[in-house]
Amino acid sequence: QYTDPGAYDVTLAVDLPDGPHTRTAVKRVVALADTLIFADVHSSPGDPITIEVYLRNQHPLQELILPLTWAGPIQLSYAGFDTLGCRTAGFEQVELVNFDGFFRRAAFRLRHTLNASGDGMPEGYGKVLNIHFNHSSGAGSQQIDTTSFSGRTLAFMAGYATFAPAVVPGALTISE
pTM equals 0.82
CA atoms of 98 and 67, how far apart (whole Å): 8
Mean pLDDT of 88-114: 90
**What is the model's pLDDT at position 113?**
67
91 — pLDDT class (breaks 50, 70, 90):
confident
Burial of 159 (0-12, 13-18, 19+ CB in 10 A): middle
Residue 149 C-beta-side C-alpha neighbours within 13 Å: 18
Q: How far is CA 155 from CA 19, 23, 113, 173, in A?
A: 44, 31, 16, 27
pLDDT, tens digit, for every residue of 12-48? 999 999 999 999 998 888 777 889 999 999 999 989 9
Contact at 8 Å (CB) between 145 and 68?
yes
Q: Per-residue pLDDT tens for 116-174? A: 555 678 889 999 999 999 998 888 999 999 998 888 999 999 877 888 898 999 999 99
Query: Can you tell me the distance from the alpha carbon of 163 to that of 97, in angstroms, rounded to the nearest whole number?
Result: 19
